[in-house]
Amino acid sequence: MIIKGGKAFIDGAFLEKDILIEGGKIRGIGAFSAGKIIDAKGMLVVPGLIDPHVHLREPGDSYKEDFLTGSRAAIAGGFTTVMDMPNNSVPTITAENYEKKKKLAKKAICDVILHFGATADNVSEVKKANPPSLKLYLAKTTGSLIVDLETAKKHFDSFPKERPIVLHACSDKEDEEENLKETYDLQQKVYRIARGRRLHLAHVSSKKEISMAKQHSNVTTEAAPHHLLLSTKDYPRLARMRNVLPTLKSPQKQIMLLSALEKVDCIGSDHAPHTIEDKDAGAAGFPGLETSLGAMLDLCNRGICDKIWLMQRMTENVADAFNLKDRGRLKPGYLADITIIDPKKEWEVRGADFETKCRWSPFEGFKFRGKAKTVIKNGKIIYDEYHFV
Ligand code: DOR
Ligand code: ZN
Question: In this structure, are 169 and 269 located in the same domain?
Answer: yes
- pLDDT, tens digit, 9 for 90 and up, residues 58-77: 999 999 999 999 999 999 99
- Residue 328, in any domain of the structure: no
Question: In this structure, are 171 and 196 located in the same domain?
Answer: yes
Separation of 272 CA from ligand 1 center, angstroms? Answer: 6
Domain boundary among 299, 321, 343: 321
* Residues β-bridged to residue 8: 15, 45
Atom of ligand 1 nearest to the CA of 286: 1
Residue 37: is its pLDDT beyond 90?
yes
- Residue 142, in any domain of the structure: yes
Residues making up the chain, counted from first to last? 389
168 CB near ligand 1 (under 6 Å):
yes
- pLDDT, tens digit, 9 for 90 and up, residues 279-325: 999 999 999 999 999 999 999 999 999 999 999 999 999 999 999 99
Nearest to 56 by CA among 34, 81, 33, 78: 81
- Residue 303, in any domain of the structure: yes
Question: In this structure, are 291 and 168 located in the same domain?
Answer: yes
Instruction: Say if residues 183 and 170 touch (Cβ distance below 8 Å).
Output: yes
Residue 141: is its pLDDT beyond 90?
no
- Residue 149, in any domain of the structure: yes
Mean pLDDT score, 252-273: 98
Phi, psi of 294 (to 5 degrees): -60, -40
- pLDDT, tens digit, 9 for 90 and up, residues 206-222: 999 999 999 999 999 99
pLDDT of residue 345: 98
Question: In this structure, are 338 and 229 located in the same domain?
Answer: no
Domain that includes residue 356, residue range: 2-45+334-388
Those residues whose beta carbon sits under 5 angstroms from the ion ligand 2 are: 270
88 CB near ligand 1 (under 6 Å):
no
- Residue 17, in any domain of the structure: yes
Count how many domains the chain has.
Answer: 2
Q: What value, to the nearest 5°, has the Cα angle with vertex 135 and ends 265 and 317? A: 20
pLDDT of residue 144: 85
The answer for residues whose C-beta is within 8 angstroms of residue 151's C-beta and 6 or more apart is: 118, 119, 120
142 CB near ligand 1 (under 6 Å):
yes
Residue 35: is its pLDDT beyond 90?
no
Nearest to 341 by CA among 131, 145, 47: 47
CATH of the domain at 201: 3.20.20.140
pLDDT of residue 34: 84
Separation of 385 CA from ligand 2 center, angstroms? Answer: 30
Nearest to 284 by CA among 268, 299, 273, 295: 273
The answer for residues whose C-beta is within 8 angstroms of residue 16's C-beta and 6 or more apart is: 5, 6, 7, 8
CA distance from start to end of the chain: 16
Separation of 224 CA from ligand 1 center, angstroms? Answer: 12
Separation of 233 CA from ligand 2 center, angstroms? Answer: 22
pLDDT of residue 140: 87
Separation of 37 CA from ligand 1 center, angstroms? Answer: 42
Report if pTM > 0.75: yes
Nearest to 137 by CA among 124, 125, 151, 123: 151
pLDDT of residue 38: 97
Q: Alpha-carbon distance 363 to 268, whole Å? A: 16
Q: Alpha-carbon distance 53 to 97, whole Å? A: 19
Question: Got the DSSP string for 123-182?
Answer: HHHHHHH--S-EEEE-S--SSS----HHHHHHHHHHS-TTS-EEEE-----SSHHHHHHH
SS3 content of the chain, % helix, strand, coil (to 5): 30, 25, 45
Question: In this structure, are 307 and 355 located in the same domain?
Answer: no
Question: In this structure, are 338 and 214 located in the same domain?
Answer: no
242 CB near ligand 1 (under 6 Å):
no
Burial of 69 (0-12, 13-18, 19+ CB in 10 A): buried
Question: In this structure, are 150 and 245 located in the same domain?
Answer: yes
Q: What is the dihedral of CA 72, 314, 211, 171, to 10 degrees?
A: 0
- pLDDT, tens digit, 9 for 90 and up, residues 324-375: 999 999 999 999 999 999 999 999 999 999 999 999 999 999 999 999 999 9
pLDDT of residue 118: 97
Domain boundary among 295, 321, 347: 321
Question: In this structure, are 16 and 67 located in the same domain?
Answer: no
Instruction: Say if residues 304 and 265 touch (Cβ distance below 8 Å).
Output: no
- Residue 326, in any domain of the structure: no
Residue to substitute in 89, 115, 141 for testing ligand 1 pocket (most ligand atoms within 8 angstroms of CB)? 141
Q: Alpha-carbon distance 199 to 222, whole Å? A: 11
Instruction: Say if residues 70 and 289 touch (Cβ distance below 8 Å).
Output: yes
- pLDDT, tens digit, 9 for 90 and up, residues 116-132: 999 999 999 999 999 99
Atom of ligand 1 nearest to the CA of 274: 11
245 CB near ligand 1 (under 6 Å):
yes
55 CB near ligand 1 (under 6 Å):
yes
Residue to substitute in 90, 245, 278 for testing ligand 1 pocket (most ligand atoms within 8 angstroms of CB)? 245
Residue 106: is its pLDDT beyond 90?
yes
Question: In this structure, are 27 and 134 located in the same domain?
Answer: no
- Residue 327, in any domain of the structure: no
CATH of the domain at 358: 2.30.40.10
- Residue 274, in any domain of the structure: yes
Question: In this structure, are 127 and 151 located in the same domain?
Answer: yes
Question: In this structure, are 204 and 348 located in the same domain?
Answer: no
Atom of ligand 1 nearest to the CA of 203: 6
Question: In this structure, are 366 and 309 located in the same domain?
Answer: no
Ligand located closest to 222 CA: 2
Separation of 288 CA from ligand 2 center, angstroms? Answer: 11
Domain boundary among 272, 290, 321: 321
Question: Got the DSSP string for 19-85?
Answer: EEEETTEEEEEE---SSPEEE-TT-EEEEPEEEEEE---TTT-TTT--HHHHHHHHHHTTEEEEEE-
pLDDT of residue 196: 85
Atom of ligand 1 nearest to the CA of 202: 6
Q: Alpha-carbon distance 261 to 288, whole Å? A: 19
